[in-house]
Amino acid sequence: MHIIHSNIKTVQDKIQCALHKAGRQPDDAKLLAVTKTFDAQTISHAYDAGLRMFGENKVQELLTKVPILPQDVQWHVIGHLQQNKVRNAVVNAACIHSVDSPQLLERIQRIAAEENKSPDLLVEVNVSAEESKYGAKPDDVEDLLANQPKGPAQIRGLMTVAPADATELELHHIFAKLRILRDKLQTKLNIQLPELSMGMSHDFEIAIEEGATIVRVGSAIFGHRDYSITH
Ligand SMILES: *Cc1c(COP(=O)(O)O)cnc(C)c1O
């Protein structure tokens, strides 16, 4: 078995264990394979193992891979989205995880209408309030959702990136905070936000225990990233 196949099996087994431990159903969390810095041939091993959801940070890099991989791949944009990359993101992505301002949302909706596309959207929330990170402040998310511009794309949930140096206890708190914020917003605004995108290679089991519906896993599937190749 190819190493990527066995890595995927290991990750999927851990996902199932964590779901079971949390009293959740086997299909309650989806695996998004994060493919940044890996070439199409490497990614195709994950495709052959049955994965169809792939995530890229950078729209430029996404554009190089979309034409090479099969049509039924669902591409997710998970990195900070610059205004001038919105059209290529909207045209190529099934889901954008990094909506973090009213201006960006407005532009996505305008371009989605122009392009006749309806990507799923997630609002990225900076739960741990790190200065250096992207994402809307937790207090600003209600306004963003309550005053949404009309458009074909739908906000389906929330996303967060936990700090790399957080302890296990801190990770539980951060992921629980995103879930609690989601629950509060659903009730207060009477909307549905079914998706919680949280958890990466080193913390996806904790995220699942706290309610993640999408885990974004890169290095645990593809191995160590060598940024010198693409950057
Ligand atoms: C790179 C990245 C991931 C995957 O990280 P790993 O630790 O390799 O699993 C997940 N989410 C985002 C936003 C990323 O940039």
User: What is the per-residue pLDDT across 125-153, written as a single tens digit (0 to 9) for each?
Assistant: 999 876 667 999 999 999 999 999 999 99
**Quick one: how far is CA 1 from the chain centroid?**
28
Model pTM score: 0.96
18 burial type by CB count under 10 A (0-12 exposed, 13-18 middle, 19+ buried): buried
- Going from the Cα of 79 to the center of ligand 1, the distance in angstroms, rounded, reads 9
Ligand 1 pocket at CB < 6 A: 34, 36, 57, 78-79, 161, 200-201, 216-220
Contact between 87 and 115 under an 8 Å Cβ cutoff? The reply is yes
- Going from the Cα of 200 to the center of ligand 1, the distance in angstroms, rounded, reads 6
pLDDT digits (tens, 9 = 90+) for 174-184: 999 999 999 99
Nearest-CA residue for ligand 1 atom 7 is 201
- Going from the Cα of 193 to the center of ligand 1, the distance in angstroms, rounded, reads 22
Enumerate the β-bridge partners of residue 125.
136
Buried b (16+ CB within 10 A) or exposed e, 19-39: beebebeeeebbbbbbbbbbe
Among 214, 117, 209, residue whose Cα is nearest residue 159: 214
